[in-house]
Amino acid sequence: MAKFYSVGVGAGDGSYITLGALRALEKSDIIAVPSKKSGNKSTALNIISKEFDTSKKELLELEFSMSSDAKERELSREKSAERIIAALKAGKNVAMITLGDVSIYSTCSYVHGAVKNAGFEIEIIPGITSFCAAADKARISLCEGGESVAIIPSAKGADLEKYTADFDTVIIMKAGADTDGIYEALKRRGMESNAIVSSRVGMENELIEPLREGKSYGYFTTVIIKKKGF
Amino acid sequence: MAKFYSVGVGAGDGSYITLGALRALEKSDIIAVPSKKSGNKSTALNIISKEFDTSKKELLELEFSMSSDAKERELSREKSAERIIAALKAGKNVAMITLGDVSIYSTCSYVHGAVKNAGFEIEIIPGITSFCAAADKARISLCEGGESVAIIPSAKGADLEKYTADFDTVIIMKAGADTDGIYEALKRRGMESNAIVSSRVGMENELIEPLREGKSYGYFTTVIIKKKGF
């Protein structure tokens, strides 16, 4: 019976691809490539193309709508799951690729559930998360000894004062829209020098630097705040 | 000039090794293998041996004391850093291997600082963390959409009631000694079915199962608690 691989390809650099990811791609007939909009260039596909000859495989582009309309999002997920299940029913192994790790803010759960309900075997291949890649590139540790870490999706509506009081490290995943607010909140606690911004880690135009006031950062921007500094 | 690689080898399975890790090992003359006690078998060495022929390389065993005596721990770290620096000064590239990712609860910071102060270039190679590997094997997501995650080193002295109230997911890294206490704390909140235990992920005797009362778990035990369940 055909098998479904859900593959984390890491945070941006081809060198973050694991041996397990390569082997899953090798064993697959079809590489399923999620995108936010049909025709969009996929970063995950770009990453694996550096280390794997995708021309030998059939590519299946899946649209996962990011519409504000919940119905539309649901419909696009259902449609994508159906297309994967149809391929599996035709006896083809499918590998769906995802940036970073599959368990961290990916939208794969729905597909996993649908594929499982259709009776097919699923294997999830772990990937390098963006925050580990950013910390390692910046040569900082996220936690040591008795330290604790909070990971939050964005700074929007988040009580940063509380997080930075309660935790040694705070990771804000999609921080791009709120960097000035983060800077202000940290300044109130005298911690404005304790934050590092990273975006496009391992990719072209990679940026890893101390958080600055009044600067615009992109969508893939993660902020790492360390209570004790660097 | 010789270079120092600090290499995350992943959480236990050889397939979690990245292409970057393999390339760093390839480029190194010496593989530095940290252990808690001299003569102990290294899990990290065991992992890379599955995918890389270590017989071509010189192995440098480094003891990192886990003594309760802070002086002793410091002394062992200093000694290990000195041995690495001596090798670098002799013109040899050194790769130090670590379980999981280097930024997450590893003891590498001291060595990184010392090597940097000695004037040598450092490259940190990210690895698959144990909690991502556990979540992926258990086919659960750690966070989706607006969810937040707390990572704490152990349950000892931790206010689990507060963590599970404030966060969608709580990861307790070294939970082996406190699993009954965790179960009790979750039961008080009616959440005793919301925890998964994992240990030795990707290794022999791997265990991934719902947290049970009155069962003994080993040292490498991680507990993942999800507020909304699985």
ipTM of predicted complex = 0.96
**Among candidates A19, A133, A149 on the partner chain, residue whose Cβ is nearest the Cβ of B126:** A133
| Nearest beta carbon to residue A51 from set B19, B109, B116 | B19
Coil, strand or helix at A153:
coil
| Pairwise CA distance, residues A196 & A91, whole Å | 47
pLDDT of A220: 76
User: How close is the nearest chain B Cα to the Cα of A168, in Å?
Assistant: 10
d(CA B143, CA A145): 24
Partner-chain contact B144 A105, CB within 8 Å: yes
Give A199's contacts (C-beta < 8 A, 6+ positions apart).
A176, A206, A207, A217, A218, A219, A220, A221, A222
Summarize pLDDT for B3-21 with one digit per residue, the tens.
999 999 999 899 999 999 9
Q: What is the pLDDT of residue B36?
A: 81
pLDDT of residue A66: 86
> Does this model's pTM top 0.80?
yes
Report the pLDDT value the prediction gives residue A152, as an integer from 0 to 100.
Answer: 98
| Separation CA B169–CA B196 (nearest Å) | 11
Residue B198's SS3 state is strand
> Residue B220's pLDDT is what?
76
User: Chain A residue closest to B24 (CA)?
Assistant: A15
Of B18, B102, B141, the CB nearest to A17: B18
Shortest distance between the Cα of B93 and any Cα of chain A, in A, equals 18
* pLDDT of amino acid A31: 98
The stretches in chain B having pLDDT less than 50 are: none
The one-letter code for the residue type at B174 is K
- Give the gap in angstroms from C-alpha A83 to the nearest C-alpha of chain B: 21
Contacts of B22 in chain A (CB under 8 A): 19
From B17, B135, B143, residue closest to A18, measured CB to CB = B17
What is the number of helices (H) and of strands (E) in chain A?
Answer: 7, 10
Q: Do A126 and B128 touch (CB under 8 A)?
A: yes
B56: buried, middle or exposed (CB in 10 Å: 19+, 13-18, 0-12)? exposed
Residue in A13, A129, A150 closest to B132 by CB? A129
Q: Which residues in chain B touch residue A13, judged by CB atoms under 8 angstroms apart?
A: 20
Residues A73-106: tens digit of each pLDDT: 999 999 999 999 999 999 999 999 999 999 999 9
Tens-binned pLDDT, residue by residue, of chain A (230 aa): 999 999 999 998 999 999 999 999 999 999 999 988 777 779 999 999 999 999 999 999 999 988 899 999 999 999 999 999 999 999 999 999 999 999 999 989 899 999 999 999 999 999 999 999 999 999 999 999 999 999 999 999 999 999 999 999 999 999 999 999 999 999 999 999 999 999 999 998 999 999 999 999 987 799 999 999 98
Please judge whether A104 and B16 are an interchain contact, meaning their C-beta atoms are less than 8 angstroms apart. no
Helix (H) or strand (E) holding A149: strand A149-152
Distance from the Cα of A114 to chain B's closest Cα (Å) equals 13
Q: Which of B26, B139, B163, B168 to mutate to test the interface with A (most CBs of A within 10 A)?
A: B139
User: Quick one: pLDDT at residue B164?
Assistant: 96
Report H helices in chain A.
Answer: 19-27, 43-49, 70-89, 109-117, 130-138, 160-166, 179-188
Interchain CB distance below 8 Å, A128 and B124: no
Task: Decide: A178 and A154 in contact? Cβ < 8 Å.
Answer: yes
What residue in A sits closest to B173 (Cα-Cα)?
A: A148
Q: b/e string for B120-138 if b means 16 or more Cβ within 10 A?
A: bebbbbbbbbbbbbbbbbb
- Say yes or no for a CB contact (<8 Å) between A126 and B132: yes
Instruction: Identify the pLDDT of residue B92.
Output: 98
**Nearest CA-CA distance, residue B190 and chain A, Å:** 23
Best of A5, A102, A103 to substitute, by most chain B Cβ atoms within 10 angstroms, is A103
CB pairs under 8 A between A and B: 156
